[in-house]
Structure 1
Amino acid sequence: MRSEMDSISENQVWTLVEPPEGIKPIGCKWVFKKKTDMDGNVQTYKGLLVAKGFRQIHGVDYDETFSPVAMFKSIRILLSIAAFHDYEIWQMDVKTAFLNGKLEEDVYMTQPEGFVTPENARKVCKLQRSIYGLKQASQSWNLRFNDAIKEFGFIRNEDEPCVYKKFSGSIVSFLILYVDDIQII
């Protein structure tokens, strides 16, 4: 839980504010997971703060939720090309992906259990960035990723919006985005 709160603080996910008149903040909860290795031994325990996005109201604290995801056939085609040409393949998981998405709407959330200080007990969290559970979290992360990756010269595929390519002389690079996982070829 401490690690999650450190990431939230580092990414400036929210600011504590007095609750605005007439606004009912959405709740949040802690979700706990055990990460195991191939033999089933516990590697790490993880606490994830999740917003109760089911309480969001369309047109009030979210508008759009759609976010593209790479099609499996596109992934298979690019992996086949990589195998044929003996390209290097890398895979990475973005640990705090959704915390990087910037919110366009005003979203207020209750403070997380276990992290409320007495002097701020009446305040609520005004979210600046998305967190897991928000209806627009995936979309805001995808938009932020798209803007950032284009700054490095990658071009988004028109027919497959989660596949990017970049040519640098005789070198070609592909990025495949699947929610918060990235394959680099």
Structure 2
Amino acid sequence: MVDMGEANYVIGIEIFRDRSRGVLGLSQKGYIDRVLERFNMQSCSSGIAPILKGDKLSKMQCPRNNMEREQMKKIPYASAVGSLMYAQTCTRPDISFAVGMLGRYQSDPGFEHWKAAKKVMRYLQGTKDYMLTYKRSEQLEVVGYSDSDYGGCLDSLKSTSGFVFMLANGAI
């Protein structure tokens, strides 16, 4: 075995270190650039949020006839949502709610669902330089946060909840 030094890049995640300030950062800028290019969004304008108040997705937006279904077969919706899920899981918890909403319609997506996926990509275009940062601390303490709605799903009236745990001032 050969020691190749500190890792700078692992499975699509770039690692930044600033030992003098005690900061470690994890970025997926390169991965996000490749995703945007794959879905022809590399020159898109940036969005302010992955999902806005009032944005609603439902089964009513699924294709209603064979012509609409045939049009949607040409759109790589599942691949786009999968790519967003990878970013969300690794370094971008800020898109979790929106990606979770998009994932509900994988089996029968409509054009409005595709537009919502592109909105998340526009948000990533404007925030691709964001990274998870962890700061050196004398005492490591895990802190958790949670939030939920009540009956927010238009299709089933089920509630949605989410949580994040923080360690060294960064999401884990």
Whether these two folds match at TM > 0.5 is no
Bigger radius of gyration, 1 or 2?
1
Q: Taking structure 1 as the reference length, what is the TM-score of the superposition?
A: 0.20
Structure having the higher strand fraction is 1
Structure with greater helix share of residues = 2
- State TM-score, norm by structure 2: 0.20
